[in-house]
Amino acid sequence: MAAELRSKHGATVHVLPADLSAPGAARALADAVAAQALTVDVLVNNAGFGQYGPFAESDPAKLTAMLLVNVVALTELTRLLLPGMVVQKRGRVLNVASTAAFQPGPLMAGYYATKAYVLSLSEALSYEVRGTGVTVSCLCPGPTHTDFVANAALESSKLFDAPGVMPVGPVADAAYAGTLRGDRLIFPKLMNRVGTLGARFLPRGMLLRIVSGLQERKSPG
């Protein structure tokens, strides 16, 4: 991708690989950025993954890695890079959450909880930085066709058989436009927003049954 951006668009690209599930990775990445004297105007916290299945049967190591990537690295990178944006009085932060952030998620309990954290943090920071020239936005897409599905072993989940699963292009376009506008919450399509409103008003027991039903495995054949 870096080679394509350089050859087709003449962009200057710095590639700094990092395993964000490793403790201290966010600090090391921020230090690497500083060592190259780069100014960060936009931070996109898009790294993340999920874990499917009953929580009591989940892989403890994968669960910890998910928390480190989805929560800890996102928080640390934002904390390390946001002050520079505030000082220069311009900047954009985009944190990627999910419509999963608005309700508990049986069979993906840990993942849904991480996205609820991202939503809460992002909304609070959006309020804190108002008037500074910096904005914090939170992207809340519904199910989207990406490698996330295979990585989370979700191929057999009913959720991705439901109508309305989006291709990645329109989600990225909505994220880009919403971030430039400084929107606090970004929903790639209207039904994402409507679904989150429904989650707020449904009785919690009913909501749990609905989400659990969507997350269940499809019947063979």
Question: At 217, is the pLDDT very low, low, confident or very high (cuts 50, 70, 90)?
Answer: low
Looking at residue 215, the DSSP 8-state letter turns out to be H
- Number of residues written out for the chain: 221
List pLDDT tens digits, range 3-46.
Answer: 999 999 999 999 999 999 999 999 999 999 999 999 999 999 99
Catalytic residue among 111, 117, 127, 176: 111
DSSP 113-144: HHHHHHHHHHHHHHHHTTTTTEEEEEE---SB
pLDDT at 165: 81
Q: Is 111 a catalytic residue?
A: yes
Architecture of domain 2-215: 3-Layer(aba) Sandwich (3.40)
Mean of the pLDDT values across residues 111-125? 97
pLDDT in tens, 172-191: 999 999 999 999 999 998 77
Mean pLDDT score across all residues of the chain: 89
Percent of residues, the chain, with pLDDT higher than 70: 90
Q: What is the DSSP code string of 24-86?
A: THHHHHHHHHHHTT---SEEEE-------S-GGGS-HHHHHHHHIIIIIIHHHHHHHHHHHHH
Encoding tokens for residue 181?
A: 């506008």
Radius of gyration in angstroms for the set of CA atoms belonging to the chain, rounded to a whole number: 18
The amino acid sitting at 61 is A
- Kindly report the pTM of this predicted structure: 0.88
- Domain residue ranges of the chain, discontinuous segments joined by +: 2-215
Confidence bin at 155 (pLDDT 50/70/90): low
Report helix, strand or coil for 136.
strand
Report the distance separating Cα 195 and Cα 164, nearest Å: 12
The answer to whether 142 and 126 are in contact (CB under 8 A) is: no
